[in-house]
Amino acid sequence: MSTITDVAALAGVSPSTASRALRGSGQISAATRARVEEAARELDYVANPSAVRLVNGRTDAIGLVVPFVTRWFFAQAVTGAEDVIRGADHDLLLYNLGGPDGRQRFFERMPLRNHVAGVLVLSLALSEKERAQLAQMRVPLVTVGHDAPGASSVMIDDRAAASTAVQHLLNLGHRRIGLIGGLPEDPMHFTSSALRARGYREALTAAGAPVDETLIVPSDYTIDGGRRAAVRLLALPTPPTAVFAMSDEMAIGAIDAARSMGVRVPEDLSIVGFDDHDLAAFFHLTTIRQPVQEEGREAARILLRMLSAPDEAETAHAVLDTELILRASTAPLRR
């Protein structure tokens, strides 16, 4: 691997001149610049990033923390963030927690410490202690789907979106509306679950409909979890006539459960999901669309902005729009 000294030697200049020429800083005669560039090309020179970082006193890598890359939502957000970060020529260090154990290990060891210029955290509700750990790194922090003090955030209005979903069902005449949602003490703490649950309750209350706690079933954001939750709901003495699931995966599980129990969708049971997953259209699922890739992109943009203006200690908070997508999994209540 050739160094800048090699380049300088080949070009017949000093290393500092070579450095200036290559980076376009200072005043350099066009002739020397050309010569240096030619030499660099010839030697296939690329600056050693460790040396550059050491002397500049900063890294340009960005840490991306994600619970599970395999889940649709996270993969989408990663794609958006990655694209923006690459476009700005930063490195992206991926950290996939992969469950409670990985999460604990991460926060214990803080492997990003001293490694990154900024951190992007996808959809983890940070405990106070975790937030403090992250803050201790003294680098800008942006979260997606969760709002932590001292950090910037990109969110959707989970509460309003959930209300909209439930309102849609209420408009169709439904009153007994089930909720399939995040686990109450989810080890991964997705805050959005709590917000969506709140929106659900508020919509019902505002419409004068009772909130029946037996219709609220926790689940784990997987198809199978949605299936189990739906089975429980449909086995109730007075089952709901409609269900709002906090993710499309769970909604799909619910559709499957209904089918296998001889309950027709939407004739006997209306179902609304959340996300507008790739498969939602396939299942004719009415759902709340959220712009997941854009959430990742926007978070990355905010982080880049924070990096370029480090003095301004301000945090930014973006709220992106959601939209109710009407498909064929919901229908008016039949009496």
Partner DNA sequence: CTGTTAGCGCCTTCAG
Partner DNA sequence: CTGAAGGCGCTAACAG
- Interface positions with DNA (CB under 7 A): 1, 3-5, 12-17, 19-23, 25-29, 31-33, 45, 47-48, 51-52, 54-57
As measured in angstroms, the least distance from the Cβ of 35 to DNA is 9
As measured in angstroms, the least distance from the Cβ of 199 to a second copy is 27
Using CB under 8 A as the binding rule, whether residue 64 contacts a second copy is answered as yes
d(C-alpha 195, C-alpha 292), whole Å = 17
Using CB under 8 A as the binding rule, whether residue 201 contacts a second copy is answered as no
What tokens were used for 270? 């209306």
As measured in angstroms, the least distance from the Cβ of 56 to DNA is 6
Residue from the set 23, 38, 210, 278 that interacts with a second copy by CB under 8 A: 278
**In the complex with a second copy, which residue's Cβ is closer, 115 or 232?**
115
Say which residues have a Cβ less than 8 Å from residue 196's Cβ, sequence separation at least 6.
Answer: 158, 159, 161, 162, 181, 182, 246, 274
Please give the backbone phi and psi of residue 140, each rounded to the nearest 5 degrees, phi first: -55, 145
| 279 exposure class (CB count in 10 Å sphere: 0-12, 13-18, 19+) | middle
232 to each of 20, 24, 258, 273, how far by Cα in Å?
Answer: 69, 67, 11, 18
**In the complex with a second copy, which residue's Cβ is closer, 89 or 213?**
89
Residue from the set 9, 43, 75, 261 that interacts with a second copy by CB under 8 A: 75
Look at strands 317-320 and 216-219 and give their pairing.
unpaired
Q: Tell me which of DNA, a second copy, none is bound by residue 92, counting a contact when its beta carbon lies within the kind-specific cut-off of 5 to 8 angstroms.
A: a second copy
Q: Tell me which of DNA, a second copy, none is bound by residue 5, counting a contact when its beta carbon lies within the kind-specific cut-off of 5 to 8 angstroms.
A: DNA
# chain residues binding a second copy, by CB under 8 A: 45
First to last CA, the chain: 77
As measured in angstroms, the least distance from the Cβ of 23 to DNA is 6
Coil, helix or strand at residue 235: coil
As measured in angstroms, the least distance from the Cβ of 52 to a second copy is 8
**In the complex with a second copy, which residue's Cβ is closer, 2 or 32?**
2
Say which residues have a Cβ less than 8 Å from residue 153's Cβ, sequence separation at least 6.
Answer: 142, 143, 144, 146, 147, 315, 316, 317, 318
Phi-psi region at 184: left, alpha or beta (left = phi > 0; alpha = psi -120 to 50)? alpha
Tell which positions 95-154 bind a second copy, by CB under 8 A.
95-96, 98, 102, 111, 113-115, 136, 138
Radius of gyration of the chain (CA): 26
Look at strands 286-289 and 323-325 and give their pairing.
antiparallel
Q: Tell me which of a second copy, DNA, none is bound by residue 17, counting a contact when its beta carbon lies within the kind-specific cut-off of 5 to 8 angstroms.
A: DNA
Coil, helix or strand at residue 114: coil
The residue ranges that bind a second copy (CB under 8 A) are 1, 44, 46-51, 53-54, 59, 61, 64, 68-70, 72, 75-76, 78-79, 82-83, 86, 89, 91-96, 98, 102, 111, 113-115, 136, 138, 223, 252, 256, 278-279, 282
